[in-house]
Homo-oligomer: A and B are copies of this chain.
Amino acid sequence: MRDSTETGSIDTLMDAIGKRARAAARRLALAPTDTKNAALLAMADALVAATDTILAENAADLDRAAEAGMAASFVDRLTLTPDRINAMAEGLRAIAALPDPVGATVAAWDRPNGLAIERVRTPLGVIGVIYESRPNVTADAGALCLKSGNAVILRGGSDSVRSSAAIHATMIAGLTLAGLPEDAIQIVPSTDRAAVGAMLRGLDGAIDVIVPRGGRSLVGRVQDEARVPVFAHLEGLCHVYVDRAANLDMARDIVVNSKMRRTGICGSAETLLIDRAVADTHLLPLMEALREAGCEIRATDEVRQRYPTAEPASDADFVTEYLDAIISVALVDGVAGAIDHIESHSSHHTEAIVTDDAAMAETFFAGIDSAILLHNASTQFADGGEFGMGAEIGIATGKMHARGPVGVEQLTSFNYRVRGNGQTRP
């Protein structure tokens, strides 16, 4: 425990936020689907109606970012436009249109003694979301938590504090209109970093799970320090393996798309593995296609003997998430070699195999323990929307509870509901 007055007052503030969230969570767990959806639709309308206010607050955040000389990519993530506000509103409407996971029966069976057992989805309780510059997370995460019956405590970045507050006000308007408690979606009103520390300690049991949204340093800090479960991925070190039985045209399309469609997302490929058996036929066309698409190639000596203009790859290249137009390339001995390489280098996020041999794909699927495995498809499909889950609050690489895209279903727990007619246990 720290004991400065400053931190003490932050702890007091955060504990009060936690208690209010816990109380709101009990009410949300009982909220009918229609009420939650009405709130989400009202939020969407309020968001659009508040466009001018939100843009004005965002302009103030952008001014500070400009004064601080922030990088262009940072400024881009922070910038709101009427189109981006409309997209946020559409996101809220899409979440309203999703099936309500709460109360859904996941499994049901009867016992020989007549007991009828159901496994039913229930909210997790209170979700803590810690994010950086993107103010739209305020709306997305708030809405996903509401739909799944969870209260949420949002802690946005200090750089986007005014934008996030303006968006948050429209969420509160929606909650109020629908008769739901304002405390269902709280935003931490302090930019003190001690607030994050308090959330990571779980606010004395008030927070059930933490979701960090941001760069590697934020996620790493959360994973290291959190005393509550975390849904996150530290990095997406994704692989594409081109097998001896790969169709070359398909391989070319999938490799280029996996790497180059968007290089800054977690599902973009960082390493290309090619079956040594088809190095003679497949290596050069794949290298040329990547280079034509503007990709820098860092390769092993063996690859460079065949394609000398590639840069040499160090061991570190094969465990680096470039998030840029750079790819590391190596040859492996068939699917077994690919599995060995991936299992020892991957971040267990997403891996793809290109092959016309279905048995090789099954071997690849069985041998690799990553959240998402693809056969003959681009790693860039690693996304809750592409999976048909609607929006996602993030992608998890842990193996506990949630794995892969985290949508509304993954934000629920479950319990057992047993119906009898007087059964006692012998």
Contacts and interface: CB of A to CB of B under 8 A. Distances in A.
Residue of A117, A125, A258, A422 most packed against chain B (CB within 10 A) = A422
A253 B372 CA distance: 50
A367 B417 CA distance: 12
Given A369-B29, A373-B415, A373-B417, A229 B400 contact: yes
Contact of A418 (B247, B381, B399): B381
A413 B400 contact: yes
Interface residues of A, number: 61
Interface of A (DSSP majority class): mixed
A265 to B, nearest CB: 10
A253 to B, nearest CB: 5
Interface in A196-246: 208-209, 229
A423 B376 contact: yes
Contact of A365 (B208, B254, B403, B417): B417
A370 interface: yes
Given A400-B400, A403-B413, A414-B403, A367 B420 contact: no
A388 interface: yes
Nearest to A256: B424
A374 interface: yes
Interface in A392-426: 399-401, 403-404, 413-425
Contacts of A422: 247, 250, 253-254, 376-377
A209 B423 contact: no
B418 A377 contact: yes
B115 A420 contact: no
Nearest to A371: B415
A369 B381 CA distance: 36
B425 A117 contact: no
Contacts of A361: 419
Given A386-B111, A416-B372, A416-B373, A208 B400 contact: yes
Nearest to A122: B369
A419 B375 contact: yes
A30 interface: yes
A124 interface: yes
A422 B370 CA distance: 20
B404 A401 contact: no
Nearest to A383: B425
A425 B257 contact: yes
Interface string A74-95: 0000000000000000000000
B369 A415 contact: yes
Given A254-B422, A254-B424, A261-B425, 11 more contacts: A26-B343, A109-B388, A111-B386, A115-B381, A124-B399, A208-B399, A257-B425, A369-B415, A374-B417, A376-B421, A377-B424
Task: Please name the 4 residue pairs, one residue from A and one from B, whose CB atoms are nearest each other, closest first.
Answer: A377-B420, A257-B424, A399-B413, A401-B401
23 contacts: A30-B366, A109-B388, A115-B386, A117-B388, A124-B399, A124-B400, A208-B400, A257-B424, A257-B425, A258-B424, A370-B415, A375-B418, A376-B419, A376-B420, A376-B422, A377-B424, A378-B424, A381-B418, A381-B423, A399-B413, A400-B401, A400-B413, A403-B413
Interface of A: 26, 29-30, 103, 109, 111, 115, 117, 120, 122, 124-125, 208-209, 229, 247, 250, 253-254, 256-258, 261, 343, 361, 365-367, 369-378, 380-381, 386-388, 399-401, 403-404, 413-425
